[in-house]
A = this chain, B = another copy of it.
């Protein structure tokens, strides 16, 4: 908690309940969340609005605190921008999401940076497929 206040100060951001709430929620979550999910959680603790959630998530992303994943469900998923972030595997039939631990792209990013001269700051990755249950269901 206290460390999040420190984090905000370091980035010249005022300490507000919404900002702390978002950081808390994302810290507690084991997998990426979209704006609405975050809003639902944060608004349990603090009176806030979706607009604020979006604005704050945008700021945090620009500062490099969070990374964004554009999902095939049309929304953006947010998580802390650690080296060991993760991605989703989504069932195209039942829309169930499976959380894949560990992102396998760091080696690849390294190579692409060398080859293109880009400074890579993030990536978006999602797998889509059929979960075991839906494979059975659709076979029948």
Chain A residues in the interface with B (C-beta under 8 A):
68, 70-72, 74, 89, 91-92, 98, 100, 104, 108-109, 112-113, 116-132, 135
Query: Known contacts being A117-B131, A121-B130, A126-B123, is A89 close to B112, with CB within 8 Å?
Result: yes
**Which 5 residue pairs are nearest across A and B when measured between Cβ atoms?**
A120-B129, A117-B132, A118-B129, A70-B70, A119-B130
A70 lies within 8 A of B71 (CB): yes
Shortest Cβ distance from A126 into chain B, in angstroms? Answer: 5
A89 in complex: contacting residue of B74, B91, B118, CB < 8 Å: B118
CB pair A98–B116 under 8 Å, yes or no, is yes
- Tell me which of B71, B100, B124, B129 contacts A128 (CB under 8 A): B124
Decide: A124 and B124 in contact? CB cutoff 8 A: yes
Measured between beta carbons, the chain B residues less than 8 angstroms from A74 are 70
What are 10 A-to-B residue pairs whose CB atoms are below 8 Å?
A: A68-B72, A70-B70, A70-B72, A89-B116, A91-B118, A117-B131, A118-B132, A120-B127, A121-B129, A122-B128
Which residues of the other chain, B, contact A104 by a CB distance below 8 angstroms?
108
A129 touching B125, Cβ below 8 Å:
no
Distance of A78 from chain B, by nearest CB (Å) = 13
Could you tell me the distance between the alpha carbons of A2 and B126 in the complex, rounded to whole angstroms?
Answer: 35
